[in-house]
A and B are shown apart, each in its own frame.
Chain A
Amino acid sequence: MDETYLIRQAQDGDVSAYNTLVLHFQDAVYNVAYRIMGEPDAAADAAQEAFISAYKALNRFRGDNFKAWLMRIVTNACYDELRRRKRHPQSSLDEIVENYDSSPILINQDESGPEKQSQQAELVEAIRLCLEELPEDQRVAAVLCDVEGYDYQEIASIMSISLGTVKSRLSRARARLRDCLQGSAELLPAGYRYQ
């Protein structure tokens, strides 16, 4: 896929070229949104909103890292949604049931048996809960660095913060996650338990 060519075509109004880019990056965008939002539906909405915003603002893209630019947009979309929820908190039984039913489809599940799968699911759930307990800025830093594998410079660019702030947020996030996961130590595989 010639990313630069597709971007130029999309900037000239070729929606199908842009859709090619969407299909290429949508899993990554959705995963970031899901780890930040913690809910599949909210993550899907944020990802859709991000792709629409990105297309409208495509002519502002001047850099060479389209993925990082997309991540910045989806991160901002998640921030906006989280802020909106803080201003207007609402939850209903229907919403809880709906969220439970729409759990995400995992790509690289461990295929080593039902027991292992159960342990894996519990571990994922424990990490998800610990991530949700983090402050938003630390959660985004941890997701981008440890889950998505971005380096500090890219994280600083995506979050519009300095390198020092990236280090600081990441350090605090890991310290909190460590404390949180120590409470779920029995869920961790032997090699992943803290001593």
Chain B
Amino acid sequence: MFDFFRNLRKSEAEKRQEAITAYLDNALTAGERQRLEEQMTADPALRVELEQQRLVKLNLSRLPRSRAPRNFTLDPALYGRPARQSGAGLYPAMRVATVLVGVFFIVAVGAEVLTFDTQAYDTNSVADRFFAQAPAADVVLEAEAEMASEAASAASFDSAPQLGADAEEVVPESEKLFKEEQLGDEPPDVFGATTDEDVVESAIAAEESLAEALVTAVVGTAVEKTGTREAAAESAPRSPTPAEEQEEPVEAPPAEVDNGLADLPSGAGGEPEEAPLSGVMVTGEAGRNGLAATETATGLPPMPTMIAVPLEEEVAEAPGEALAETFAPLLEEGEPAYRQDVYSRLSARQLVILLLGIILVLLAGVTLIVRWRLKE
């Protein structure tokens, strides 16, 4: 193969000279030999070149042979049995194994790249199945989402519909509500903006505030959930505690929330447009409380770490990674059955690629070392 690429760079003169060299040494095929002879018949310069090379070869072959100035025999007293080369027999097998693993690795990576979208879709399905396996969680999540939705409708979004439409793309309703709760008495003047400049500035400020609020929420909620719940109770209907939920059955949730939680198809027939991921996971405080309540309501051990659910954009960019990061704490501390299911389905292919890559690196390294020792 390298000879082929090298031949591409050679000039015609070089190719002709190499052909003459090979002709002199009988290293041409019958066809190549016949072609060159035809060319020499038509081109006297080729015949001159051939004759000059023949003379060079003749001169070199007539160089006198020299006798060795001394004997190079070894002293038996100094040299014992030649060392056994344990790696010599292993080297061919290791080389073949390295090539095979390399091929499998390339195929696996290629398949991963080619089926990336499909896998992302399957990842969403896994997330759906994850929620579907916890039926009690659905009920609690729906209740939480319903309350969040009511609180959102009670807020002053109606006064700035244009800004609301812009912010809607970035901030889910429950997170807007949560932002207001966290900021307390001094909400940003986002919703009262009237001019375009004000709208833009307010939107930027709202995004920054929301980012801070989300960070605070993730940390704060994990450290002390009760404080957040009290703050939420000031501006929105109080979320029922897990104990209250057990005592008081939750009513059927609204259609839009229910669409995202309970009735999602678990197979490949799901439609992401009808069931957006933010709806599925109930972002923001409501979703977090819902997850926490789920654990208690279902009788499972309480979940000490809360999960920051990624936004839609994050999920759209890297769905597999985002979901893997999202569910990692839950998988570590939650129900083993969930962990086995989600973890194995979510990253089985990646695990295979990772494993193949590690084996390939190890095999290649050992093979190179053995080769180096054999060459010594």
Contacts and interface: CB of A to CB of B under 8 A. Distances in A.
B61 A147 contact: yes
Contacts of A58: 82
Interface stretch (B16-24, B124-132, B361-369): B16-24
A123 B62 CA distance: 10
Contact of B74 (A51, A105, A147, A174): A51
A151 B69 CA distance: 27
B85 interface: yes
A11 interface: yes
Nearest to A35: B63
A30 B357 CA distance: 48
Interface string A17-58: 011001100110111001100001000100110011001111
A174 B80 contact: no
A102 interface: yes
Given A149-B61, A163-B3, A167-B27, A26 B72 contact: yes
A103 to B, nearest CB: 9
Contact of A55 (B7, B62, B79): B79
A27 B60 contact: no
A4 interface: no
Interface residues of B, number: 48
Interface string B51-74: 111011111111111111111111
Nearest to A16: B76
A68 interface: no
Contacts of A175: 17, 53
Interface stretch (A81-89, A90-98, A106-114): A106-114
B56 A177 contact: yes
A21 to B, nearest CB: 10
Contact of A57 (B53, B65, B74, B82): B82
Given A152-B27, A171-B17, A188-B59, A56 B83 contact: yes
Interface string B1-43: 0110011001000100110111001010000000000000000
A146 B61 contact: yes
Contact of A127 (B27, B52, B63, B88): B63
A178 B74 contact: no
A108 B61 CA distance: 12
Contacts of A31: 65-66
Interface of A: 10-13, 15-16, 18-19, 22-23, 26-27, 29-31, 34-35, 40, 44, 47-48, 51-52, 55-60, 62, 102, 104-109, 120, 123-124, 127, 142-143, 145-147, 149, 151-152, 162-165, 167-168, 170-171, 174-175, 177-178, 181, 188, 192-195
Interface of B: 2-3, 6-7, 10, 14, 17-18, 20-22, 25, 27, 48, 51-53, 55-76, 79-85, 88, 374
